[in-house]
Amino acid sequence: MDAFIEIVSKVNGFINSNIVWGWPAIILLAFVGVLMTCLTKCFQISHLGHWVKQTIGSIFRKDVSAHTKDKSISQFQSLCTALAATVGTGNIVGVAGAIIVGGPGAVFWMWVVAFFGMMTNYSENVLGIFYRRRGENGEWHGGAMYYLRDGLGGYKGCKTIGAVLAVLFSIFCFLASFGIGNMTQVNSISSNMETVFHVPTWATGLVIMALVALIILGGLKRIASVTEKIVPFMVVLYVIGTLIILFSNLHQIPAVFGAIFKGAFAVKSAAGGLVGSGIKLAIEQGAKRGVFSNEAGLGSSVMVHSSSNVKEPVRQGMWGIFEVFADTMIVCTLTAFSILSSDLVDLSTGQVVTEFKGVAISNGNLMSTVFGEQFGFIGSAFVAVAVMLFAFSTVLGWSHYGATACGYLFSDKAVLAYRIIFVVAIFGGAVMGENLAWDIADTLNGMMMIPNLIGVLSLSGLVMKITKNYVDRRLRGKDVEPMYSHFPDIQAQQLQRGDD
């Protein structure tokens, strides 16, 4: 068994480093984000007040938060389910790993990826709403597979390539749901529960299996109902904890900023490499962990955003901007500052201690050690519970992504079988080695990302037109027909609904 795992790890490592997460993929990710930012005239900044008002500023509006009577979910539920999938172990374990391997400079590149990723995620959601269709079960189905097939595939001579890329994306998403959305999350829960509470990994796996089964077998409506209760609670609680640490170490903030910017451009990496190697590691880790955390560019969260009861593509696109902002600019940043302002990091070299008070430091326990230093055992227990909630909610969100891919590849009737297999796979994630689980997740992330970014890139002009249409109507008061859907029947239905 050990020999098999070693072979899988080596093959996966080669694919991960040379094909999926090589520099071409990172450059493509950055290029699409920069392009969409330019085409939308830097929407995340130029219309900052508007998208904040239309997202977090509107959560108490009836049309945003009220539960729906049909198979769709509310805009707030779609955000919470998307955040459930994005605000996960990447915000704690992933950020810790980025700092350990890439040094403090990785945080800067995480910010860069997130800033441009806001508009990548925005574009994905706009296209998701524009190309979504009703499924056999009455639910809205949307995602990269649909805008690849009907968008890219609609160009002259591109029908086959659009269809092939749609299938490839669905296959990668289907597999990724067992990696990023299952194994890595459950692995983080089980390792934390074993470290802090001495609970065997197999016992944690069995409990999570039972809880997940109770929720996801009830379908998207039940998943959304649970996530809209868990997500706000867990995010607020975690933010409060990190803010306490931040204010306790305010004197360290200038040094933390200095280490981040020095590490991003010039100094040696945490791994001890030369200047060029240090910058390379910082960029790679910042990009990897940034995407793992906020998923901008993967085409994943658009699958749940497309199930919203919204009719305006740009309205849901703005929720995508907020999603990345909340996930990376707030939660990941607070995690990073908590770690970097602690005694576990030498800011002059960017190195993280390998051992603290007799305990070996790793991705999985770095943040719990930081909290333990600040609050004692209660702090370590708090992080273990936070990781559990973050990871558990991510499992719920990704179960829907995998189900959407399964429905596209086969049919809605196959989704129940997928959910059963998804639940069974949880046990494997609980007892799997930590590094292998994260390496597989990185590989599957990148394999999803490439066809999705090709789709966004090919339809970038359409996103620009839809955005201009919205700005002209909503912000400039021009009398132009809305662009709600690619399909005439849905466009007509949405026009009949009137304004929202």
pLDDT of the residue at 468:
97
Residue with tokens 């374990």: 93
Contact (CB, 8 A) for 324 and 55: no
Provide the number of structural domains found in the chain. 1
pLDDT of the residue at 270:
39
User: What would the pLDDT profile of 28-73 be if each residue is shown by its tens digit?
Assistant: 888 899 999 999 999 999 999 999 998 888 776 666 555 555 555 6
Comparing 183 with 416, the larger pLDDT belongs to 416
**Does any domain span residue 90?**
yes
Q: 495: which 2 tokens?
A: 């026009």
**Does any domain span residue 500?**
no
Q: 402: which 2 tokens?
A: 């995998």
Its domain, for residue 44, covers 2-493
**Does any domain span residue 245?**
yes
In whole angstroms, what is the distance from residue 281 CA to residue 297 CA? 20
**Does any domain span residue 418?**
yes
CATH number at residue 211: 1.20.1740
Average confidence (pLDDT) over 74-92: 70
| C-alpha distance from residue 485 to each of 450, 461, 492 (Å) | 25, 15, 9
**Does any domain span residue 305?**
yes
Average pLDDT value for the chain: 81
**Does any domain span residue 241?**
yes
Q: Which of 16, 79, 35, 8 is nearest to 287 (CA)?
A: 16
**Does any domain span residue 499?**
no
Please check the confidence at residue 266 and state whether its pLDDT lies above 90: no
Of 113-122, 258-267, 357-366, the range with the lowest mean pLDDT is 357-366
In whole angstroms, what is the distance from residue 80 CA to residue 87 CA? 10
Average confidence (pLDDT) over 379-394: 81
User: What would the pLDDT profile of 167-176 be if each residue is shown by its tens digit?
Assistant: 999 999 998 8
- Confidence class for position 25, pLDDT limits 50, 70, 90: confident
How large is the angle between the packed helices 434-458 and 105-131, nearest 10 degrees?
Answer: 50
Most confident of 3-17, 92-106, 107-121, 389-403: 107-121
User: What would the pLDDT profile of 421-436 be if each residue is shown by its tens digit?
Assistant: 999 988 887 777 655 5
Please check the confidence at residue 278 and state whether its pLDDT lies above 80: no
Which string of DSSP letters, residue by residue, matches 424-437?
HHHHHHHHS-HHHH
Comparing 465 with 281, the larger pLDDT belongs to 465
Contact (CB, 8 A) for 130 and 487: no
Average confidence (pLDDT) over 120-133: 95
Q: Which of 90, 178, 172, 176 is nearest to 391 (CA)?
A: 90
**Does any domain span residue 498?**
no
Please check the confidence at residue 106 and state whether its pLDDT lies above 70: yes
Q: Which residues of 245-270 are buried (b: 16+ CB within 10 A; e: fewer)?
A: bbeebeebeeebbebbebbbeebbbb
User: What would the pLDDT profile of 392-414 be if each residue is shown by its tens digit?
Assistant: 888 888 888 899 899 899 988 89
Contact (CB, 8 A) for 325 and 85: no
Comparing 273 with 18, the larger pLDDT belongs to 18
Contact (CB, 8 A) for 305 and 122: no
Residues contacting 86, CB < 8 A, separation 6+:
293, 294, 295, 301, 323, 327, 394, 397
